[in-house]
Amino acid sequence: MKPLLSLLFVTFSFFYLHPILTVSSAVSDPSNVAVNARDFIRTSCSATLYPDLCYTFLSGYANTIQQDPARLARVAIGVSLSKARHLAVYVSNLSHEADYGADQRASAALHDCFSNMGDAVDEIRGSLKQMRQLVAPGSESFRFQMGNVQTWMSAALTDEDTCTDGFEDVAEGPMKTEVCERAEKVKKLTSNALALVNSYAEKGTN
């Protein structure tokens, strides 16, 4: 009888416990979590104007974002802030150099762009701070906070647009091309962040 009982126990363990352990390990497998998070990011990015750029910049934060739309919006704002800061520093350095040049239009455009980018940075920073202080979705306070973020991110996008508008009368050249290309990328990242903010705000108020 003992050998028979042992055989039955082994059979039971294999067919009953093995699938449970397999499923359990699959669920907790970090690689599966990362894949699910990246799928979530890709799907969420499809709601933006620049989905490929969105996924490229945010997929590296999959472990942080997981499948949380609030984290996704917060990380997107953080990425936008980082790039806007870098552009502001870059334009500031160029504006100092342009002060000693002969092209007054280029100098004025750079100074105006730096001012606009400074405003954009402040607005995006304020948005990120507000996102870090969010209350639970569904409340009136949540709607108020998300309204602030939407307003500030929209204002930042307008300021970034104004930055490049100032170069319309500047002669074509490497400096103008470089600034406008960098600003265009920052605008796209801010646009994507705003879209993800709008999506989360809509879900949180329904």
Residue by residue, pLDDT tens for the chain (206 residues) are 455 445 444 444 444 444 433 444 444 555 677 789 999 999 999 999 999 999 999 999 999 999 999 999 999 999 999 999 999 999 999 998 887 776 889 999 999 999 999 999 999 999 999 999 999 998 999 999 999 999 999 999 999 999 999 999 999 999 999 999 999 999 999 999 999 999 999 987 76
- Predicted local distance difference test score (pLDDT) of residue 34: 72
- Predicted local distance difference test score (pLDDT) of residue 89: 97
Q: Angle, nearest 10°, between helix axes 69-98 and 51-58? A: 100
- Predicted local distance difference test score (pLDDT) of residue 134: 95
For 69, 155, 198, the CA distances from 148, given in Å and listed in that order, are 18, 11, 11
User: Residue-wise over 99-130: b if at least 16 C-beta within 10 A, else e?
Assistant: eeeeeeebbebbbbbbbbbbbbbebbbbbbeb
pTM: 0.82
Helix (H) / strand (E) containing 70 = helix 69-98
